[in-house]
Structure 1
Amino acid sequence: MTASHESVSAPTRRTVVAAVGAAGIAAALTACGSSDDSSSSEPAGNGAKAGAAKDGAGKELAKTADIPVGGGKIFGDAGVVVTQPKKGEFKAFTNICTHKQCPVTAIEGGTINCPCHGSKFSIEDGSVKHPPAAQPLAAKEITVSGDSITLA
């Protein structure tokens, strides 16, 4: 019998670096969703797009006192952001950024803010206040009855 000795070389540094880089890019793309800019809507990690059906329709989201004047609150489970731009005026929008479909995570300084790429949207009408998003947040329908805010 003849013994066969095959030479197996270890991966080069370049191969390892390329593989790690590719894995990092894949993870980043997965975290930010697809690249289409079709429309879309808490930090609770809700990654559903605006058009997707959401549980919570017809259920009370909050009391009017829970929504600060000049600010708002994100309801990730319901896929909605509720704002109160002026006292007694309530607006609602999807909670998914229209740029890369990341969930928005903060409302401050009169804007709804996406952490992924820095897009900012107006609390008054969902319009883009800071790119890269090019499309506004889609409006959602809410009902305010007494001190109760309900997703329609």
Structure 2
Amino acid sequence: MTESQETEPALCRRAVVAVAGAAGLTAALAACGASGEGGQPEDSPSRTGGSSDPGTTGGGALTSTGDIPEGGGKIFADEKIVVTQPSAGEFRAFSAVCTHAGCIVSSVGDGTVNCACHGSRFSIDNGSVEHGPATKPLPAEKITVKGDSITRG
């Protein structure tokens, strides 16, 4: 057996191991960043029905009060904000970025803001953690309700 024949299998094994390791790392990073269940990392396009009006940030009209269900809320992923109505006529807003891994929250229901990435749930009333793995509440966002209009800021 020549020297090149002896080293070829070792090089081939190293290449296979390197490719498999890179593929595994890519898959692991993709799984941490997004899930097929509606979760997505902070910088991903919205899949949660955020506003398509580019003028909705920086104090522009975000939504109307009639669009926010009592006991629920609505996620504006492009603006990274979730607006809730814990009880009739009371509106709250929180960051839509999950404090666990930075995913945009995916739904609002049953009194909680929910993140599909890892299952964290937050109170629609005050943003506190109702179910981990998140350990920090969603930060409050400032909104103004004037008539039936809700604006950011």
User: In which range does the TM-score fall when normalised by the shorter chain?
Assistant: 0.7 to 0.9
**Aligned residue-pair number:** 133
Is the 1:43–1:105 contact (alpha carbons within 8 Å) kept by the matching residues of 2? no
* Partner Cα distance (1:63, 1:43) in 2: 23
| Offset from partner CA, 1:95-140 (integer Å, 9 cap, x none) | 0000111110100111000011100000000000001100000000
Counterpart of 1:125? 126
* Aligned counterpart, 1:63: 64
The amino acid of 1:20's aligned partner reads: A
The answer to whether the 8 A contact 2:83-2:94 is kept is yes
Higher helix share: 2
* Residue 23 of structure 2 corresponds to residue 25 of structure 1: no
Structure 1 residue 6, shift from structure 2 partner: 2.1
**Shift in Å, 1:78:** 1.3
Specify the SS of the correspondent of 2:134. Answer: coil
8 Å contact kept, 1:104–1:114: yes
The amino acid across from 1:24 in the alignment is A
User: After the TM superposition, which of the residue ranges 16-25 and 132-141 deviates more from structure 2?
Assistant: 16-25
Long gaps (5+) in structure 1: 33-39, 47-54
Letter matched to residue 60 of structure 2: K
- SS of the equivalent of 2:13 reads coil
Gap change, CA 1:127 and 1:43, over 3 Å in 2: farther
Aligned-residue RMSD, C-alpha: 2.9
Taking the aligned partners of 2:89 and 2:21, their CA distance within structure 1 comes to: 55
1:77 deviation in Å? Answer: 1.4
CA contact (8 A) 1:45 1:103 kept: no
Say whether 1:114 aligns with 2:115. Answer: yes
Using the size of structure 1 for normalisation, the TM-score is 0.76
Q: How far 1:22 sits from its partner (Å)?
A: 2.3
| Aligned-partner SS, 1:11 | helix
Checking the alignment, whether the CA contact within 8 Å between 2:127 and 2:140 is kept in structure 1 is yes
Structure 1 counterpart of 2:74: 73
| Contact 2:45 2:78 (8 Å CA) reproduced | no
| TM-score normalized with structure 2 length | 0.76
Structure 1 residues 87 and 106: CA distance shift in structure 2, 3 A: same
Q: What's the secondary structure of 1:68's corresponding residue?
A: coil
Cα shift at 1:12 = 6.9
Q: Which runs of 5+ in 2 are unaligned?
A: 35-41, 49-55
Note if contact 1:99-1:134 (Cα within 8 Å) is conserved in structure 2.
yes
Identity score, percent: 47
Q: Give the AA of the match of 2:68.
A: I
